Amino acid sequence: MSLGQHIKNYLSLIKFSHTVFALPFAMIGFTLAVVREGHSFEWGLFVKVLLCMVFARTAAMAFNRYLDRKFDAMNPRTAKREIPAGIIKPQHALAFTIVNCILFIVTTYFINTMVLYLSVVALFVILFYSYTKRITALCHIVLGVGLSLSPIGSYLAVTGVFELLPVLFSLIVLTWVSGFDIIYALQDEDFDKSQKLHSIPAALGIKGALNVSNILHVGSAIFVIAAGVVGEFNFVYWIGAAIFIGLLTYQHILVKPNDLSKVGIAFANTNGIASIIFAIFTILSFFIQ
C-alpha cells in the first residue's frame, strides 16, 4: 500500500474534515487575544496553536475508533470504518493515539506554562469521552466540553489568563456541539439500546432527544447574544450571529421525529457551514469599525 493511501486511511479514521467544527472557534479565540487584547501576532505561536488543535483532535478520534471497534463492527452504519473493516489494525490506531498525545503535550510546552499544565486536563476530557457512552446518557455534553476547550485554549495560548468573553465562546461551542451530537446519535437509538449503551436518544426516544437538542441550541443562541453584548461587537458580528442562529434553527427543521433521512446533512453540512460563517464574521468584526 502506498504512503498516500496510508495517509488517506488515517485521515478517514479520524474524520479530519470534521475539524471544521472546532477549529474556527479556536481562530476566534486566537484573534480575540491578538486584536482585541493588543497582543502581538506571532506566526510561530499561531502554528503551535493549530498543531495543538490537530494533535488533540486526532488523538481523541483515533482513541474513540480504537475503543469502539467492537461496537462499530456490529453496527451496520459503522461496520465499514477502518478498524472493523481491517484497513487499520487496532494496535496501530492505539499507537497513533499515543503519538498524537505526546506531540500535543510537547507542543504546549513551547507555548506557555499554563497551557502545558492544562494540556493534561484537556487530554483527560477528550479521551474520557470515548468511555462515556458506557456509563451515562450525558456523553453528548462531555463531547461538547471537549470541543469547547478550543476557543479558551487558543486564547490562553496568547494571553495566559482567563477572561469572560472567550469563556462565552466556549459555552457557545459546548451547547452547540452537544445539541447536534444528540441529533447525530438519533441514527443509533435502536443499536444503543440493544447493546446497553447510553445516549439521550436511547434514554428519551427520538422526540425527547430532539427536545433536549432544541433546549441546548436555544442556550447556544443565548450565549451568542451574550458574547455580542459583553464584547460590544459591531454590526458585522451580529450578521454572523444571525446566520449562525438561523442555521441552528434550520437543522431542527430538517430533522423530524418521523423523518431522520436528513440527519447527515444537518450534522456535517449545516454545522460545518455555521461554524465557518460565524468565525469569519466574528473575526472580521475585530477589524471593521
pLDDT tens-digit map of 55-95: 999 999 999 999 999 999 999 999 999 999 999 999 999 99
Distance CA 74, CA 33 (A): 46
Which pLDDT value is given to residue 5? 83
- Give dist(CA 27, CA 220) in Å, integer: 18
Half-sphere exposure in the Cβ direction for 40 (13 Å, CA): 3
pLDDT tier for residue 158 given thresholds of 50, 70 and 90: very high
d(CA 154, CA 52): 9
State the residue range of the domain holding 198: 3-287
Please check the confidence at residue 271 and state whether its pLDDT lies above 80: yes
Query: Is the CB of residue 202 less than 8 Å from the CB of residue 189?
Result: yes
**CATH number of the domain encompassing residue 160:** 1.10.357.140
Rg (CA), the chain: 19
pLDDT for the residue numbered 119: 95
pLDDT at 1: 64
In tens, the pLDDT along 23-53 reads 999 999 999 999 988 888 999 999 999 999 9
pLDDT, averaged across the chain:
93
- Using the predicted structure, report yes or no on whether residue 17 has a pLDDT greater than 70: no
Give the total number of structural domains in the chain.
1
Per-residue pLDDT, averaged over 9-28, amounts to: 83
What is the Cα–Cα distance from 54 to 11, expressed in whole angstroms? 11
Taking a C-beta distance cutoff of 8 angstroms, is the pair 230, 165 a contact?
yes
Q: Given this model, what pLDDT does residue 261 score?
A: 85
Q: Residue 247: which residues within 8 A CB-CB, separation 6 or more?
A: 270, 271, 273, 274, 277
Q: Measured in whole angstroms, how far is the alpha carbon of residue 86 from the centre of its chain?
A: 27
| Residue 19 confidence (pLDDT) above 80 | no
Q: Which residues contact 54 (CB under 8 A, 6 or more apart)?
A: 19
Helix/strand/coil (H/E/C) assignment for every residue in the chain: CCHHHHHHHHHHHCCHHHHHCCHHHHHHHHHHHHHHCCCCCCHHHHHHHHHHHHHHHHHHHHHHHHHCHHHHHHCCCCCCCCCCCCCCCHHHHHHHHHHHHHHHHHHHHCCCHHHHHHHHHHHHHHHHHHHHCCCCCCHHHHHHHHHHHHHHHHHHHHHCCCCHHHHHHHHHHHHHHHHHHHHHHHHHHHHHHHCCCCCHHHHHHHHHHHHHHHHHHHHHHHHHHHHHHHCCCCHHHHHHHHHHHHHHHHHHHHCECCECCCHHHHHHHHHHHHHHHHHHHHHHHHHCC
d(CA 165, CA 195): 41
Q: Of 21, 8, 68, which Cα lies nearest the Cα of 220?
A: 21
pTM: 0.93
* pLDDT above 80 (res 267): no
Q: Find out whether 25 and 150 touch, Cβ atoms under 8 Å.
A: yes
Does 125 score more than 90 pLDDT?
yes
Per-residue pLDDT band at 262 (split at 50, 70, 90): confident
